[in-house]
């Protein structure tokens, strides 16, 4: 009887779950079973699904660094202060924010728009013109930040224009940085839910030496590390206590 229940629980953990089940299953796991591997291709599949996450203006200013070699893994673990969530993980995924690639990602969007509207079935000159105006004129205005004066001018213009009608106000260099990190965080959550859907565990970590991480991964210094996600299969002691959330009434507002 006990053996049957254990088997049923194991099958529940390993079978693919619904989105709701995956959200319930996901916990930040600090200790993984070092005797159990989750497979490189499985993690890669979940990273692929994470790239389907929404991003501001579809700029996709992210990179996913899948750490599988023992050498790089040990270096990353050390840069994560050898915390148990990293040290016992089967694999690691580093999500980098690549705001420095905005011009390249912008051009990819422009090329995609032109290619899409070249299809005879969906040709619409007005929509194409509007879409190209947004990516060729509006987006560069937000992302261009070479001089401090330009940054100040963008913020001031937004405030003045906003006196007369609703306007977009997140135009400064720091605003765009936040936007890029939000998009990366959305992708990180998608990855963890995808992993949970397959019965695998994760832990998003913010405790790391970002400069050393970038050096290990040969990333430029103007890139940033959003988070490092450890992956594996939890042990009984891997989850520290019952899930705690403050009262829903404290965070939920109806207007």
- Residue 48: φ, ψ to 5°: -60, -40
How far, in Å, are 103, 217, 223 from residue 93 at the CA level?
Answer: 25, 12, 16
Tokens of 138: 């509006």
Q: Above 80 in pLDDT, residue 237? A: yes
Q: Above 70 in pLDDT, residue 173? A: yes
Among residues 28, 97, 93, 54, the alpha carbon closest in space to that of 187 is found at: 54
Which segment of 1-10, 164-173, 215-224 scores lowest on mean pLDDT? Answer: 1-10
Q: Above 70 in pLDDT, residue 14? A: no
Residue 168's pLDDT band (cuts 50, 70, 90): confident
Residue 146's pLDDT band (cuts 50, 70, 90): low
Residue 5's pLDDT band (cuts 50, 70, 90): very low
Which helix (H) or strand (E) segment holds residue 250: the answer is: helix 248-251
Q: Which of the two residues, 135 and 170, has the higher pLDDT score? A: 135
Which segment of 48-52, 73-77, 154-158 scores lowest on mean pLDDT? Answer: 154-158
Residue 148's pLDDT band (cuts 50, 70, 90): low
Mean pLDDT, residues 170-196 taken together: 94
Mean pLDDT, residues 71-91 taken together: 98
Residue 187 CB coordination number (10 Å): 24
Q: What are the chain's domains?
A: 25-100+146-239 (3.40.109.10)
- Percentage above 90 pLDDT, the chain: 76
The C-alpha atoms of residue 89 and residue 34 are separated, in whole angstroms, by: 7
pLDDT of 12 reads 46
Q: Above 70 in pLDDT, residue 8? A: no
Q: Above 60 in pLDDT, residue 177? A: yes
What is the pTM assigned to this prediction?
A: 0.89
pLDDT, tens digit, 9 for 90 and up, residues 30-60: 999 999 999 999 999 999 999 999 999 999 9
> Which residues, in sequence order, are CB contacts of 218 under 8 Å at separation 6+?
none
pLDDT of 118 reads 87
Q: Above 60 in pLDDT, residue 13? A: no
Contact 84, 237 (CB under 8 A): no
Residue 204's pLDDT band (cuts 50, 70, 90): very high
- DSSP assignment of 215-229: HHTT--TT-EEEEEE
- Percentage above 70 pLDDT, the chain: 92
pLDDT, tens digit, 9 for 90 and up, residues 93-109: 999 999 999 999 999 99
The C-alpha atoms of residue 168 and residue 136 are separated, in whole angstroms, by: 17
Q: In what side-by-side order are the strands of the sheet with 201-205?
A: 62-67, 91-97, 224-232, 201-205
The alpha carbon of 146 is separated from its chain's Cα centroid by a whole number of angstroms, namely 26
pLDDT of 33 reads 97
């Amino acid at each position: 009887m006990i053996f049957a229940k254990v088997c049923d629980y194991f099958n529940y953990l390993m079978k693919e779950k619904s989105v709701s089940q995956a959200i319930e299953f996901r916990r930040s796991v600090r200790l993984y079973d070092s005797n159990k591997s989750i497979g490189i291709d499985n993690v890669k599949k979940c990273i692929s699904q994470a790239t389907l996450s929404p991003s501001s203006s579809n700029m996709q200013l992210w990179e996913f660094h899948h750490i599988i070699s023992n050498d790089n893994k040990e270096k990353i673990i050390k840069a994560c202060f050898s915390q148990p969530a990293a040290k016992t993980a089967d694999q690691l995924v580093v999500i980098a924010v690549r705001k420095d690639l905005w011009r390249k990602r912008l051009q990819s969007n422009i090329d995609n728009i032109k290619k899409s509207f070249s299809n005879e079935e969906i040709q619409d000159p007005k929509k194409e013109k509007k879409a190209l105006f947004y990516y060729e004129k509006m987006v560069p205005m937000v992302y261009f930040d070479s001089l401090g004066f330009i940054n100040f001018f963008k913020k001031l213009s937004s405030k003045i224009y906003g006196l007369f009608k609703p306007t977009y106000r997140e135009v400064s260099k720091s605003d765009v940085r936040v936007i890029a990190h939000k998009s990366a965080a959305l992708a990180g959550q998608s990855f963890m839910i995808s992993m949970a859907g397959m019965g695998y565990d994760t832990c998003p970590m913010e405790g790391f030496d970002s400069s050393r991480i970038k050096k290990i991964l040969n990333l430029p210094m103007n890139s940033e590390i959003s988070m490092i996600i450890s992956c594996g299969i939890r042990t009984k002691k891997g989850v520290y206590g019952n899930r705690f959330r403050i009262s829903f009434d404290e965070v939920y507002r109806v207007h």
